[in-house]
Structure 1
Amino acid sequence: MAADLKIVPVILAGGTGTRLWPLSRQSLPKQFLSLVSDHTLYQDTLRRVAAPDLFHPPVVLTNADFRFFARRQAAELGIDATVVLEPVARDSGPAVLAAAAYVRERYGKDALVLALAADHAVKDPDAFVASVRTAAAVAASGQIVTFGIKPSAPSTAYGYIKLGDKLAEGGYQVARFVEKPDVETATRYVADGYLWNSGNFLFRAELLLSEGTAFVPKMVEAATQAVAGISEDIGFLTLGAEAFTAAPSQSIDFAIMERTKHAAVVEGDFGWSDIGAWNSVREVSPADADGNVTRGPVALMDSHNSYVYSDSTLVAGIGLENVAVVATDDAILVMPADRSQDVKALVTALRASHPRVVDEHLRMHRPWGTYETICRGERFHVKKIVVNPGGKLSLQKHHHRAEHWVVVKGTAEVTLGNDVFTLNENESTYLPFGSIHRLANPGRIPLELIEVQTGSYLGEDDIVRIEDVYSRV
């Protein structure tokens, strides 16, 4: 690799992570949660590719729902990320090809691209960077490199890679990719020296697009046209919707990696996990002398080899053996530790009977702050609303509900019809049905207020936005 040829990290941050319910939900998925360190998985991924001598500033691909998480959490680290939005979900194939087309346009056809999932964990970042340097040399020689992980045990949760001939720059040719096996086959693969497929890649932008043209020309055409049709709004780049929607939905593995003759693998011994289920979280987290991993207010007695998480309420356990418990304010998951792969099926079943608990947290994040459900009834909904300093909700109205606001901390600027006035702590106001209104925080501390909604319909879709600084109209 030439000394002046740096790598462009592309972070794929659009997934939902249903196997980590009830903590990971559609409204706040696992990549934006702190599960194995003091930072979120997304932030840890950004930190691994932050060395300015090796990496350009990152390009982040996500969707519109997560765009403010992506920008805010990068900014918290002092990282200036380019956030590119996918108009629709089309699996990793179109996303990675669009990223390659964007990087080619911005940095040139010889640019090296490191495509990483935002929701993976790495115990040894220095060893990870060493593997990236090796992979960069292999990619510069004309290969599309994937990172293979030496299995710690036979697993049916991952695809596997059979090694081919050794390469001069390091790593190996890929002899073949194989899908997730059964236990017997996985045991044989481990004995035969196969590696887990991590699903992270390093390649020259032009080579990936050239191979894509050979195997999935419609996907490449859609991806390149989507990049050509990029639009910018409040600092976010959005791929051309019509072109990207036309892309076939397929993973990059199926689309290119399993078909190309340029596939190579570099073994990574850096403590990798895809954090695909609760047992994975336990495996990469420090355990106590009894093999237990706890996070949050948890107290255990005579318990062994268990994982217990709580985000608020004290969880106490006696005599737990190989059990996983995950407690949030509105849902508690209890299961044998070895059944964590079944959570996805549970979530699918729950979506029909408890859709709100499956998809939404009690505390919902918005670009201006958060709101949190305190109490909900047939014709009322009580929320705690926190507006960040300088934050401003949309100018809006509701057809089916009235609202009462009581300020408990800070100062609120209220727009009601043609009037604009200030509310201080212990002051309140009433917003009638159909009134045009807005809430803003002109102060330097977070604004906290209690909102009581009353009416015949209290869904979040009963919002008519008239004007919005976050372009949600």
Structure 2
Amino acid sequence: MKLVLLSGGSGKRLWPLSNNARSKQFLKVLENEKGTLESMVQRVWGQLDRVGLVDSSVIATSKSQLDMIRSQISSEVEVIMEPTRRDTFPAIALAASYIYSVKKTSLDEVVAILPVDPYVHEDFFEKIKDLENVVRESDADIVLMGVQPTYPSSKYGYIVPKEKSERNYLQVSRFTEKPSEEQAHALIEEGALWNCGLFAFKLSYLINILEEKGLPTRYEELLKQYDKMPNISFDYEVVEKTEKIAVFPYEGNWKDLGTWNTLTEEMDTSLIGKGIISEECENTHLINELDIPITVLGLSNVIVAASPDGILVSDKGTSHRIKEIVGEFDNRPMYEERRWGWYRVLDHTKIEEDHEVLTKRIGVKAGCNLSYQYHYHRSEVWTIIKGEGVFAHEDKLKVVRPGDVLQIKVGERHGLKAVTDLEMIEVQSGTQLIEEDIVRVYMKWDEVEDHCYSLTNRKDKISII
């Protein structure tokens, strides 16, 4: 069985910590068995590893989340990247075409799809292993996993089965999406299960659907036509049109940590970052990513979250409304994790109508490097404040240490490798300060060194003394 983990999200539900580049699954707020903080995606990947499913798993995601995934999990994780962000049907279709034409997987193989961030115990993933047999035994085109509800929630979709059965799966009668609590109570009485977004099918089923729609089944060809595919969910495009659907009940714990209220229920600490929560506060959480302290006095059932993107102070019961409240915010992400480290925007100022200045604090992990690149619309000044590295500038290399100031003019090629963990302040100045104004010459540092040495006839590689 192949497992496809879908990593998406607009980054609004846990604002201000989440943004378009750092969706909720990447927030490091959950404590693991070692006592360190990890993200939802790190937690899930670790669980998959422990139950032996990592080698058969791939992650389907957008370009904006690729660096975050490689930074938090592994640079070796197999990723299927959408060329443009779309809904779940095109994403799952692309994953199926990859498994079929690139991995050369048999059409009889079972493929399971699930979100990358469910909050579950390891037995949930052990249960996934049984899905393959259910798909084959049930003769259903799609088999969903349904969670036994613990209370009448209006936040989840419900799967209503037909009659009860002696088998370990049930035929599906209908679906109900996010009912009222009164309706949810009636659905539970009817034997309905929560739809946790996990389902499985034979690879042949989806490949046949692509052929029927006149869409390519070869991965490279589908990539070229991706922006022309219907921007629609898999539920609407496939599930609702499928007649033979079964559900596989799961009676263990499952939770979607999609709001500040549900997320803080699973946090082992009430304070992350600089700050104080006074003793009389009850069920109050403070998460502070800023360098200034925050104090919470006399407030109970409150979430206070602060990041470079903004500050949230909310009663937990209404925190689910944050997505609609901040939906009009369209500012650039102020913090991002990348494959090489991270950056935080310190200041962004428009000096004149056609001239901007952007200041970042950048951290590069030891052994990692920024690409060898140049820009059309901006110059940069780098000030090294921590660590040691090698700076490539206009095909020449030099060692850099704290206190060094490096000036890069428009159009000049430049790159950096960190020998130890390195931090610097970058000041960009120009007419367009956008991430798209990057022309990458080389991504790998070995290529940068080989290029520079070939021009200077040097054979000895530079090293820190």
What TM-score range do you get, normalising by the shorter chain?
0.7 to 0.9
Q: Does the 8 A contact of 2:148 with 2:193 survive in 1?
A: yes
Is 1:265 aligned to 2:247, yes or no?
yes
Alpha-carbon RMSD: 2.9
- In the TM superposition, what are the counterparts of 1:15-164 in structure 2 within 5 Å? 15-37=9-31, 38-51=37-50, 56-75=55-74, 80-105=76-101, 106-122=104-120, 124-126=121-123, 128-141=124-137, 142-143=139-140, 144-164=142-162
Q: Does the 8 A contact of 2:11 with 2:22 survive in 1?
A: no
Cα gap change, 1:186 to 1:63, in 2 (>3 Å): same
Query: What TM-score, normalized to structure 1?
Result: 0.81
Cα gap change, 1:307 to 1:409, in 2 (>3 Å): closer
Query: What TM-score, normalized to structure 2?
Result: 0.82
Letter aligned with residue 129 of structure 1: F
Cα gap change, 1:425 to 1:349, in 2 (>3 Å): closer
Tell me the CA shift for residue 436 of structure 1.
0.4
Cα gap change, 1:248 to 1:376, in 2 (>3 Å): closer
Separation in 2, partners of 1:81, 1:411: 29
Q: Does the 8 A contact of 1:393 with 1:468 survive in 2?
A: no
Letter aligned with residue 367 of structure 1: R
Letter aligned with residue 255 of structure 2: S
Cα gap change, 1:423 to 1:435, in 2 (>3 Å): farther
How many residue pairs match? The answer is 429
- Give ranges in structure 2 of 5+ residues lacking alignment: 32-36, 352-356, 446-465
Is 1:306 aligned to 2:284, yes or no?
yes
Separation in 1, partners of 2:303, 2:251: 27
Tell me the CA shift for residue 171 of structure 1.
2.2
Cα gap change, 1:93 to 1:464, in 2 (>3 Å): closer
Q: Does the 8 A contact of 1:396 with 1:438 survive in 2?
A: yes
Tell me the CA shift for residue 424 of structure 1.
2.6
Tell me the CA shift for residue 252 of structure 1.
1.5
- In the TM superposition, what are the counterparts of 1:388-399 in structure 2 within 5 Å? 388-399=365-376
Tell me the CA shift for residue 51 of structure 1.
4.9
Separation in 2, partners of 1:217, 1:303: 59
Cα gap change, 1:441 to 1:262, in 2 (>3 Å): same
Tell me the CA shift for residue 117 of structure 1.
0.5
Separation in 2, partners of 1:129, 1:321: 36
Letter aligned with residue 416 of structure 2: A
1:167-201 Cα deviation digits (max 9, x unpaired): 55512111111122233322322333321111111
Separation in 2, partners of 1:462, 1:247: 24
- In the TM superposition, what are the counterparts of 1:433-452 in structure 2 within 5 Å? 434-441=410-417, 443=419, 445-452=420-427
Identity between Structure 1 and Structure 2 (%): 28
Structure 1 ranges of 4+ moved more than 6 A = none
Tell me the CA shift for residue 470 of structure 1.
6.9
Q: Does the 8 A contact of 2:278 with 2:296 survive in 1?
A: yes
Letter aligned with residue 114 of structure 2: L
Separation in 1, partners of 2:90, 2:127: 26
3-state SS in 2 of match to 1:66: helix
Is 1:465 aligned to 2:460, yes or no?
no
Q: Does the 8 A contact of 2:17 with 2:309 survive in 1?
A: no
Cα gap change, 1:368 to 1:296, in 2 (>3 Å): closer
Alignment-derived partner of residue 383 in structure 2: 406
Alignment-derived partner of residue 324 in structure 2: 345
Q: Does the 8 A contact of 2:393 with 2:415 survive in 1?
A: no
Separation in 2, partners of 1:257, 1:350: 33
Q: Does the 8 A contact of 1:368 with 1:392 survive in 2?
A: yes
Separation in 2, partners of 1:466, 1:282: 41
1:294-315 Cα deviation digits (max 9, x unpaired): 4444423212233432234443
Tell me the CA shift for residue 446 of structure 1.
1.8
Is 1:384 aligned to 2:380, yes or no?
no
| Range with greater deviation from structure 2 (336-345 or 55-64) | 55-64
Q: Does the 8 A contact of 1:398 with 1:462 survive in 2?
A: no
Letter aligned with residue 10 of structure 2: T
Alignment-derived partner of residue 458 in structure 2: none
Is 1:364 aligned to 2:305, yes or no?
no
- Give ranges in structure 1 of 5+ residues lacking alignment: 1-6, 230-239, 288-292
Separation in 1, partners of 2:444, 2:196: 36
Letter aligned with residue 440 of structure 1: L
Letter aligned with residue 337 of structure 1: K
Separation in 1, partners of 2:197, 2:190: 21
Is 1:333 aligned to 2:312, yes or no?
yes
